Amino acid sequence: MLTGTALMNELVDELNELKLSTMAATLDELYHRPEFLEMDRLTLIAELIGPQFQEKVSTTLKNRLTAARLNGSPEELTKCVDSDKREYLPTGVTEQLASLNFIERGYNLCILGESDAGVYAAS
């Protein structure tokens, strides 16, 4: 039975073979932390799965946006700025949306964030 570094290397190899490379890298990074052995099991599992899950969600969203063929997507979505203030960025977005000119011009509109978050992207 493998133990220690040999077991860890085998687990990392198996995760890579399963195409879970983010999880493999995270496990390797966690293993080299001084506090690794003191981590409780649920925290370890959460730290291990979280980055792989976020990558999957991000990739899925990016693929859907690409498939939708929205003008300026997905590259221009990175220009959106998240803000904890209740303001719309860039200024004047409220007036632009209220005018409905984006419909006449055939522009796409993508609203990002939680309800009432005030984060948007338009192209």
Stretch 91-104: mean pLDDT:
78
Find out whether 66 and 37 touch, Cβ atoms under 8 Å: no
Domain boundaries, the chain: 1-68, 70-123
| Residue 23 burial by Cβ neighbours in a 10 Å radius (0-12, 13-18, 19+) | buried
Give the global pTM. 0.54
Over residues 30-82, the pLDDT tens digits come to 999 999 999 999 999 999 999 999 999 888 888 887 777 665 544 555 555 55
118: region left, alpha or beta (phi > 0 left; psi from -120 to 50 alpha): left
